[in-house]
Amino acid sequence: MRQNKIIAWMAILVALAFVLSFLERMVSFEIPVPGVKLGLANLAVLMALYTIGAKGAAVVCIIRIFLDGMTFGNAYRMMYSLAGGLLSFFIMYIGKRCKWSVMSVSMAGGLCHNIGQIIVAIIILKTPELVTYLPVLILAGIATGAINGGLCGIIMKSFRRIKIE
């Protein structure tokens, strides 16, 4: 029974990530910096990390990226998202194991997501000058990570009654 609950919870989180990704594309949040978005879909990965562990969160992360890329993007966008998402996930996993706060884990994830994307952009576009955009993306990643971390903390408090494992 436990395995069925985990699979159902993963499906819910993937669906949540997909809906949040869709909403983020449809609703303008008026962020004046090109390429910067709130990354609300990463809430689902963060929630998965704290509720079902690293393996389940990795699956949610990868499925979220592929669904989003196939629906709203292209192969390049998927590569950028995959690089950012996997680096972000790895750092969030380390942060959780080191017992960082949810906010710190999310901020580190937001920061690393942007770093991963810039690295891939530099490789694909063969434009090392893109590194000059990194300070802006670092600040944006930390800020959006703080927003997502705060939201995740609030959501997780209300979900304390739900027992997945």
| Residues 21-33 pLDDT 10s | 888 888 766 666 6
Calpha distance 24→140 (Å, rounded):
16
Contact criterion met (CB below 8 Å) for 41 and 106? no
Calpha distance 146→159 (Å, rounded):
20
* First-to-last C-alpha distance (Å) of the chain: 10
Contact criterion met (CB below 8 Å) for 54 and 7? no
pTM: 0.89
Residue 77 — very low, low, confident or very high, per pLDDT cuts 50/70/90? Answer: confident
